[in-house]
Amino acid sequence: MRTKIVAGNWKMNNDFNQSINLVTELLAIKPTAKVNVVLCPPMPFIHSVVGHLSQQSNYYVGAQNVNPNKNGAFTGEISTHMLQSVCCKYVIIGHSERREYFNETHEFLKFKVDAVLESNLTPIFCCGEPLEVRNQNQQNDFVKKQLAESLFHLSEQNIKNCVIAYEPIWAIGTGLTASVNQAQEMHQFIRLLIAQHYNESVAASITILYGGSCNPSNAETLFAQPDVDGGLIGGASLKANDFVSIINALENTES
């Protein structure tokens, strides 16, 4: 049975009070969750958000970024050990915004994945194609390369500790969502690649999330797809009611 997850990527939104208010509001509406919920606030607020979630089972905190080096002269950066020391459990790696605006290469992401796993944190590894690639029907090759160059060096044990998020770039923050068929096809393809590179049982065990304009109206049909195990949510994770509806949608697919 794969772990079902809804993760909220707050990106560079919310100051301290807004962040704490959002967690408080979320917990007031939904004190228990049957699926795993991962909140990824801006870095300075991770510690406080962890504190607010400490009594809640199934709620975890994730970071939006990490530096793969252990420590040292990397001004402004945050290490895996620092994240671990504040009970952060997940790290988003390879988000298309970081690939684009911070020139993060496949090779660099590979180092990040290694560093995160070495610290017993769980990477949420993002992959997904831009619109021009989708328009040329080259999305499978594009995603295959992303996985091959940043993930498939991992041992069987380590790949099993990764979460993958398929996020078509053309759907992120645009209001355009992949159709349920497009999402299912790509999730199934990712699982096939894992089966080919590792084996069927590894492929069957890995959680694959969908991300890209997922919202309360489309979450349930997306999550009902057999290879979609939850969502990585941007905009809709900033509104407690919407985020809770998305969590409920995933829980409903469980029953």
Closest CB to ligand PEP among residues 63, 233: 233
- What's the distance, CA 29 to chain centroid? 23
Distance CA 86, CA 93 (A): 19
**Interaction of residue 64 with ligand PEP, rule CB under 6 A:** no
> Two tokens at 152?
């498939």
**Interaction of residue 168 with ligand PEP, rule CB under 6 A:** no
Closest CB to ligand PEP among residues 9, 139: 9
- The piece of 17-25, 50-58, 211-219, 245-253 that touches ligand PEP (CB under 6 A) is 211-219
Closest alpha carbon to 161 in 114, 128, 100, 210: 114
Does residue 25 carry a catalytic annotation?
Answer: no
Please report, for residues 73, 138, 172, the alpha-carbon distance to residue 215 in angstroms, rounded to integers and kept in the order given: 41, 27, 12
**Per annotation, catalytic residue among 97, 104, 129, 167:** 167
**Binding string to ligand PEP for residues 3 to 42, with x set by CB under 6 A, is what?**
------x---------------------------------
Does residue 167 carry a catalytic annotation?
Answer: yes
The sign of the dihedral angle between the CA atoms of 3, 228, 95, 22 is: negative
- The piece of 25-33, 42-50, 79-87, 231-239 that touches ligand PEP (CB under 6 A) is 231-239
The sign of the dihedral angle between the CA atoms of 76, 63, 102, 215 is: negative
Q: Are 117 and 156 in contact (CB under 8 A)?
A: no
Sequential DSSP letters for 77-94? --BHHHHHHTT--EEEES
**Interaction of residue 234 with ligand PEP, rule CB under 6 A:** yes
**Interaction of residue 214 with ligand PEP, rule CB under 6 A:** yes
**Per annotation, catalytic residue among 52, 95, 97, 129:** 95
Q: Count residues contacting ligand PEP (CB under 6 A)?
A: 13
Which residue ranges make up the site for ligand PEP (CB under 6 A)?
9, 167, 172-173, 211-214, 232-236
* Active site (catalytic) residues: 95, 167
